[in-house]
Amino acid sequence: MCAQSDSPVLVADAGSSSLRLTVFGEDGTVLAEHHSDSPPGDDVSGPLRHVLDDAPAPTAVGHRIVHGGPRRRGHTLVDDEVRADLDEAADLAPLHVPPALTVLDAARELLPDVPHVACFDTVFHADMPAAARTYAVPAAWREEYGLRRYGFHGLSYAWALDRAAALLGRRPEQLHLVIVHLGGGCSACAVREGYSVDTTMGFTPLEGLVMSRRSGSVDPGALTWLQTRHHLSARDIEHALNRESGLLGLSGTSGDTRDLVRDRAAGDERAALALEVFTHHCRRGIAGMAASLDRVDALVFTGEIGEDQPEVREEVCARLPALGLTGDLRPLVAERPEIVSKPGSRVPVIVVPTGEAQQVARETRALVAPRG
């Protein structure tokens, strides 16, 4: 079943706290959209029907799925076998995959005669070197349980890579980049000659940088200590690390950097600490990714915070002189890919607006396009 190259593509991006449905034309034009700041529920068919009523009938549907699990190393057409595999991946990203599967099931029922494509954030990192994907844990955990580092935000990284390369006038395979996705979830990635060679997120989207409500990396010994000494259950710990930590846990008021920048200016010490911890971990993540490259041709920011929070970009870059970065960046809110560092900077700093939905549309068209 093939989608014509000039046919609309519906992209579904469902997460733990939002639902975005967008119909794209071939040139990337948005033909219809629905955005909600709440996760999809049993009534998800309503928003789907609303979007479909406002746009030409799609001939393919692309679904952003955060985790592909151990079996799915490439974007794929969804059939019953693939759908069954995704239930296993749901255990690995419990905040993200179940809402996406709710939308996938509803869309397949509503549009049974068009191809549905699962586009996975983990695919971009599928060929990371063994040293970057392997945990130093007992062999049984790795071989029998499949414990390994997967990495996430791959659709965002793929989009940002191509946009940054075009801005620099070079091909992706010529570049060594550090890309940082800062949003509700946060991670950094080392891209060598077009491929991910390291990233800060691991087995789940909880590892790595401090995030809006997620803790990022915490000493595993501290977690076992909480279980054995203070009798917290695994479920309590998992909930706290995913929902009550990060910027929200540090500030006690908000997981939104816009609120925290404002509160810090008003003298809120907890907001100041939250931002200091956040940017400190960003710098550590960027420096760690640089260690997997021969050089850093550019630092690329994307994600909602990365594109519209100039104070964060400035505080990250101004304190990384060891990597050739400097402050005094242009304090813009990016509407298109732009270089925000000074002309002639040793390491250009680039801001790329988030393009995960556009990348899903791109991958979906590539997978269902006629081959001749």
Digit-coded pLDDT (tens) for 94-138: 888 999 999 999 999 999 999 999 999 999 999 999 999 999 999
- Helix/strand/coil for 248: helix
Strand 19-24 vs strand 9-14: parallel, antiparallel, or unpaired? Answer: antiparallel
Q: For the chain, how far is it from start to end, CA to CA, in angstroms?
A: 14
Residue 291 CA, chain-centre distance (Å), reads 21
Residue 6 pLDDT level (bands cut at 50, 70, 90): low
DSSP string, 160-225: HHHHHHHHHTS-GGG-EEEEEEESSSEEEEEEETTEEEEES--SSTTSSS--SS------HHHHHH
pLDDT at residue number 4: 42
What dihedral angle (degrees, nearest 10) is formed by the CA atoms of 61, 67, 73, 78? -30
- pTM listed for this prediction: 0.95
pLDDT at residue number 238: 95
Active site (catalytic) residues: 121
d(CA 185, CA 246): 10
Angle CA(194)–CA(350)–CA(331) in degrees, nearest 5? 165
The contacts of residue 224 (CB under 8 Å, 6+ apart) are: none
